[in-house]
Amino acid sequence: MRHAVASFLGLAVAGLLTGCPDRSISEVNPLQGRVEAKDIPIKINRKVDILFLIDNSPSMADKQKNLADNFPKFIDVLDSIQGGRPDVHIAVVTSDMGSNGALDPMPGPAVGQLNNGRCAGFGDAGVMKMPAGVTTTPGNVFLADELDMSGNRIGPNFNGSMSDAFARMATVVSRP
């Protein structure tokens, strides 16, 4: 009899556990707590350095021309920033990394054919280049149109317009 009562209680408990209780979902209305506003001071940085990596393989000549032709639109965007053109430095590097290894003391052998993407020796080694025809302050390898501490334009470090100077910089040719 004890076993029968224990079995019956076990079945009753199992029945209660497997039943389908009502689990309706009710809407939750969150209570908005205290909102705290805090002012965080910021210092606006009006200095921008822009580096263009330009592929100097022969097949990219038309793309280089397109970049140079559309650069004035880029300058227009910089000029449209609140407060006007920021303090800007613009430089160009090419994709010609040469054919030697980083630890090789001597130039590597030429890869490719002359005037068809040839890459030889040390290449441009990722160094910023200022091509002939772009006159800048001695020692500079970038175009600079800077602001002084009070936000007044100091003036560029190049002759002519920034667009013309950049057009000459963006026209890079493959090494022979």
Report the percentage of the chain scoring pLDDT > 70: 63
Q: Is residue 151 part of a domain?
A: yes
pLDDT tens for 12-21 read 555 555 555 6
Dist CA 142 CA 49 (whole Å): 10
Residue 107 has pLDDT above 90, yes or no: no
161 is written with which tokens?
A: 């317009």
Q: Is residue 24 part of a domain?
A: no
pLDDT tens for 53-85 read 888 877 888 888 898 899 999 989 988 988 888
Q: Is residue 132 part of a domain?
A: yes
Dist CA 37 CA 67 (whole Å): 46
**Coil/strand/helix, residue 40:** coil
Residue-number span of the structural domain to which 88 is assigned: 50-170
What confidence score (pLDDT) does residue 49 get? 93
State mean pLDDT over 32-45: 83
User: What are the C-alpha distances in Å from 147 to residues 45, 51, 130, 163, 166?
Assistant: 12, 19, 22, 18, 19
Residue 127 has pLDDT above 80, yes or no: no
Query: Looking at the 3D structure of the chain, how many domains does it have?
Result: 1
For the entire predicted model, the pTM comes to 0.62
Q: Is residue 85 part of a domain?
A: yes
Q: Is residue 34 part of a domain?
A: no
Nearest Cα residue to 165 out of 141, 135, 129, 140: 135
Q: Is residue 155 part of a domain?
A: yes
Residue 11 has pLDDT above 80, yes or no: no
